[in-house]
Structures are given as C-alpha cells and as structure tokens.
Structure 1
Amino acid sequence: MPLSERLTPIELLAILAVVVIWGVNNAAAAVATDHIPPMATVTLRFFMAALCLAPFIRPPFPNWRSLLVIVGLGGPLHYGLIYLAFWLARDVSPVSVAAQLWIPFTSLFAFLMLGERLSKAAMVGMAVAFLGVAWMGIDPAVLSEWDAIAVTVAASAAWAITTVVARRTTSIPPLKMQGLLALTTFPLAGLASLAFETGQVQAVAAAPPIAWAAVAWGGLASSLVATSLLFWLVQRREAGRVTPYLLATPVVSIVIGAGVLGDVLTAQILIGAALTICGVAVVALAERGLRAGASRG
C-alpha cells in the first residue's frame, strides 16, 4: 500500500492489540521472575513458543550466517538480558521505558553496519532518548536499580542488531524465523539456568498460577499473537508507519506497574520517561520520513 494511505480500522486494531499485549507482557515478565529465576522463565516461555511454532521450522535454511546472528542475539542474549533486567528491578516502569531504546539503536546500527542515512533529526532524537533514560535513572527511586537499566540497554542493543540483520534477511518467512529463534532460545536458556541459577526446579514446582499465566502470556500471546500481527502489519506497510504507534507500549506497562504492581512513580521518573518516548518517537518518525523520501525518489 502507498505510504500516504491512512491506516485501516483493522490495522489500527492490530496495532492496539500489539501495544496492549507487549505492555502487559512487561508486567508479566516482572511477575514471572518474582517466582521463577529469569533464565528458567525464558526457558519455559520459549519452550511453549517452540511447540506452537514447530510446524513452521522446515528446510531450507538460507543465509545461515545471518540466521545465526538473529537467533543468537535476538533469542537467548536479548531475552535472557531483558528477563534478567525485570528480575533485578523493583519496578516495571523504568525497564519498560528503557527497553524502547532498541529503536534509536536500530537507526544507529543501520548507519554503522548498512551505511543507511542517519538524519540530524534522528541524531537529536537519540540524544533526547538517552538523556531521558539518564534523567529517569538518577531519580533516587531508580538509582539503586541502575544494574537493571544497564542490562536493559544491553538487551535493547542486542535486539537492534538483530533487527538490522533481519532487514537484509528477507528470504526467511517471519514465523519460520521466530520458530528457529524459539527453538534456539529455550535449550540455551535452560543451560544458562543450570549453570548460573539454583533452586529453579523447586521454584517452578512451587510457582503459583499467576506466574504460570505470566509465562504463558509471554510464550503465546507475545511470541505468537503479537509477533504475528506485527509481521502482518509490516508486510502491508513500511515499518516506519507502524513503529511510532508502538511507543504506547511502555505507557500500558507504566499504568499496570503503578496501578497493580505498586511501582513508585515520581515526577522525575515521569519526565525522564516522557523524554525517552519523545526522543524515540523523533527517531521513528525521522526514519519514516527517510523511507518515504526514498520511495518517492
């Protein structure tokens, strides 16, 4: 569809579903890791996803070097780090906001790795986004959790590299790629859990229904439903038409964190979150403008 066409009601509903599912999943990750160690949680989540996605994992496997980067960085490394961040953090909101840095990281790595143009607006947006995370991070309520924020930034960088590599790996269907990612992630996360965690078997056995529901939400609703909807959207539209709307995801997480999980929200945290989201929005819209210009050129 042309970039100038308005999004249809069905597309807007799909975007809303993705935002809500991912926003809830941030809270679900925090709930799950309250009861089950993070690597064990990742193992369970992607075991569920792999079972559902197994029918899509069939030969051939072209671009295997790029595929190894995608399933390695985008699977056990990214998800291992992000679940570790939620386990380290006391509150959901700061981690959910910092996780949005994958968008400016993607533009930066696309410039460094693929030679894509990086506009002045995008550079300003990056600076504002990182300033927002820094401003949020020096709040006393968050300062003690800087390890969680740092791990989140690393997870965002890993996902951004995955996204850049995936851009040039168009010969692999999205669900096949997602299935390979799940199939790679759950055994490697399981090995990491055996190596670095203790008491995971007892924790899994004693986990309450809410923890299992949180794991299932990640493995089914997030990995399958939201991802499938996102793939459907970007197959119909350029990614730049969709990405800005996804910035509402941390808003959902903040509402759940403050209203249900008891997150501490100070004015400084909210200002930092707003700066980060605005900066990321500038990057996303700048990329959208570049791609629109390229399509008209």
Structure 2
Amino acid sequence: MSRRDALLAALVAVIWGVNFVVIDLGMGDVPPLLFVAARFAAVVLIAIWFVPCPRVGWVKVAGVGAFMALGQFGLLYASMAAGMPAGLASLVLQAQVVLTILIAAGVLRERPTPAQLIGVVLGSGGLAIVGAGRGGHVPLAALALCLAAALSWAVGNVIARAAKAPGGLAMTVWSALVVPVPAFALSLLIDGPDAVARGIAAFGWEAALSTAYTVLAATLVGYGIYNGLLARNPASSVAPWILLVPVVGMLSAWLVLGETPNAAELGGGALLVAGVVVASVRAGRRGSERVQDHLPANADAALTSR
C-alpha cells in the first residue's frame, strides 16, 4: 500500500469512528431499519445522477450493497437499538478485520504475509483486552447482532475486492440501490406499521443531521475511498487500518456521550494502533507489488490520474 493510500485509510477510520456517535445521537425513536432505509435512500437521491454506473457485473454490485450496506448497517443499527453502546459497537464491529483476511485467503487466495498476521494478532489482542474490560454488561442479543454485522461487512469486503471496480465511489452509490426498499419492508415486518409511522413522525433535526453526516461523510466520502482502496490493494492490506475505528469511536463516545474509557480500553486501543502499524506499514510495499501483478494493462494510467 502506498503512503497516499495509507493516509486515505487513516482518514476513513476517523470518519467512521465518529459515525458511531452520530448514529447514536440521531436514531432516537426512529426504528433502526427505517433509519438505514432513510440513509441509503438519501445516498441514491443525492448522488446517482452524477456518478456513472461501475463497469462491473450487476451481481457484484448487488452483492456489495446486500452485505456491505444492508447487512452491515441493518444489523449494526439493530444492535445499537438493542443496547450496544456506541463506543463498544465501534470495537466489536472490527471483528470484520480477522474475518476479511480469513475469507479473502479462502476465496481470493490472498495469503497474508507474516507481518500482516502479526499485526492482526496484535490488533485482535487489543480488541480482546478492551472487550474483557467492559463487555459483560452488554445484552447478548446486541452483541450477537454486532458480530453478525461484522461478518456481513467482511463478506462485502471480499466481494468488492473481487469486483475490482475502477471507481470506489461508483460502487458505493450504485450498490446503495439495493438497500432502501428491503430495509423499509423489513422495518414494516419487524417493527410494524404503527412503529414505522411513529418513527417517521419522530424524524426531527437530530435525525436529519445524523443522516446528513452518514450520507455525505461516512457513505459517499468514507466508502468511496474505502472501495477504491480495495480495488487497488489486497483486502488483507486495507482491512487492518480499520482497526483504528474503535480508537476514534471510543474517544468520541467518551467526549460526546460520557462513555468514559477504563484502563483496559486505553491499553487495548494502544495495542490496536501497534497492530495497524505492523500489518500495514511493513507489508505495504509487498502488497502494492502483488496488486500491480494483477492489474490490467491500462491500470497504471488510471491510478496515476486519480
């Protein structure tokens, strides 16, 4: 991974870390799946007119939308509504890092380097330390939903990597097409028409601002960059950077929501950073070489034009 891509990956981690607090503040009395439907409907309405369709098969586009968008965020929002604190949700969701590397190794034959394996072990150890420090009070259903969201994200990562779309933003926007109708239908089915009606009535300025951030920053900017990184680099080089998300998420939850971190959270967060450095910096040159071996003949010009 190049230095430019590493800085972009760190920016995505900051945007997504803050996003957990934004979701918590905005959801309020709005049912979680209805909130997901509103988020991705806004993505489509704002951006689809200006972003060309990605030059990949519709099955892959729909797969990214189903797993990276609908599955991940439907389950994540439901987890937070069921009692998962914002800071801890940002941590547990990072199980996707290990799952991404394992799935990519099995499906795409992207074998992680020794440095990446060491980094994942360090990062996973940091996750375990933080989880042991404050995870006992979380409802089991909320924890299970968050872990399922991590699995869905990991599957979406591998589909996006396999698609190798030339523009990450195009994949992000067009894959959002598959989210609003299923999410709204599931909200009607699970929450009931009355709850959906109350949620629409409760959609005030907090929900509107939260949706604006998740649409413009977390989705269009964040996933636009992230899918572009997956198209240019092995998934095992990109995913470890997202271990920084819980560090930002817990810090922002501490400052905004009063979720004060304990010693385990602080120590585990430091270990997460160490894992990112080892997995991504030491393996960066080798990962970039492996990507160049698999790029089409005209890809170099496309990369330098960005």
TM-score class, shorter-chain normalisation, is: 0.7 to 0.9
Structure 2 CA distance for aligned equivalents of residues 18 and 45 of structure 1: 18
C-alpha offsets along residues 33-83 of structure 1, whole Å, 9 cap, x if unaligned? 333121111011111101012225766874333333222212211111122
Q: 2:259 aligns with which of 244, 260, 263?
A: 263
Aligned partners of 1:81, 1:194: CA distance in 2, in Å? 16
Provide the residue aligned with 2:43 in structure 1.
Answer: 49
User: Structure 2 regions of 5+ residues with no counterpart?
Assistant: 294-306
Question: Is 1:249 matched up with 2:249?
Answer: no
Instruction: Please tell me whether the aligned partners of residues 42 and 186 of structure 1 are also in contact (alpha carbons under 8 angstroms).
Output: yes
- Give the 5 Å matches for 1:128-139: 128-139=122-133
For residues 169 and 242 of structure 2, the distance between their equivalents in structure 1, rounded to whole angstroms, comes to 20
Q: Which residue of 1 aligns with 2:215?
A: 219
Residue aligning to 1:186: 180
Does the 8 Å contact 1:76/1:189 carry over to 2?
yes
Per-residue Cα deviation, 1:173-232 (whole angstroms, up to 9, x for no partner) = 433322222111111111111111141321331244222211221122211133334456
Residue 301 of structure 2 corresponds to none
C-alpha contact (below 8 Å) 2:101/2:112 kept by paired residues: yes
Shift of 1:237: 7.8
Deviations 1:139-181 (A, max 9, x none): 3x42121543432232222212211121221256433322222
Select 2:76's aligned residue among 82, 87, 93. 82
CA distance in 2, matches of 1:123, 1:252: 23
CA distance in 1, matches of 2:149, 2:11: 23
Could you say if the C-alpha distance between residues 219 and 295 of structure 1 is closer, same or farther in structure 2, counting changes exceeding 3 Å? closer
1:17-32 equivalences in 2 (<5 Å): 17-32=11-26
For residue 137 of structure 2, what is the aligned residue in structure 1?
A: 144
Shift of 1:119: 3.0
Provide the rounded CA distance (Å) in 2 between the counterparts of 1:182 and 1:73: 11
Tell me what 2:156 maps to: 162
Secondary structure of the residue aligned to 2:164 is: coil
State the identity as a percent.
27
How far did residue 234 of structure 1 move?
6.8
Does the Cα contact within 8 Å between 1:53 and 1:178 map onto a contact in 2? no
How far, CA to CA, are the matches of 1:237 and 1:114 in structure 2? Answer: 13
1:36 aligned onto 2:30: yes
Preserved CA contact (<8 Å) 2:94 2:242: no
What is the distance in 2 between the residues matched to 1:116 and 1:240? 7
Letter in 2 for 1:250: P
CA contact (8 A) 2:126 2:271 kept: yes
TM-score normalized by the length of structure 2: 0.79
Structure 1: gaps of 5 or more residues: none
Secondary structure at the residue paired with 2:94? helix
Change (3 A) 1:227 1:86: same
Length-normalised TM-score, structure 1: 0.81
Matched, 1:123 2:95: no
Q: What corresponds to 1:291 in structure 2?
A: 287
Q: 1:49-68 to 2 correspondence within 5 Å?
A: 49-55=43-49, 62-68=56-62
Query: Mean alpha-carbon deviation: is it higher for 24-33 or for 204-213?
Result: 204-213
**Cα distance in structure 2, aligned partners of 1:100 and 1:260:** 21
Give the aligned residue type for 1:108.
Answer: L
* Residue identity opposite 1:153 in structure 2: L
Q: 1: CA distance between counterparts of 2:150 and 2:41?
A: 22
**C-alpha RMSD of matched pairs (Å):** 3.4
How far the C-alpha of 1:91 sits from its partner, in A, is 2.3
Counterparts of 1:200 and 1:267 in 2: how far apart (Å)?
41
Question: Which of 168, 171, 176 lines up with 1:174 in the alignment?
Answer: 168
- 1:168 is paired with a residue whose SS is helix
Q: Is the 8 A contact 1:58 1:176 kept in 2?
A: yes
**How many correspondences in the alignment?**
290
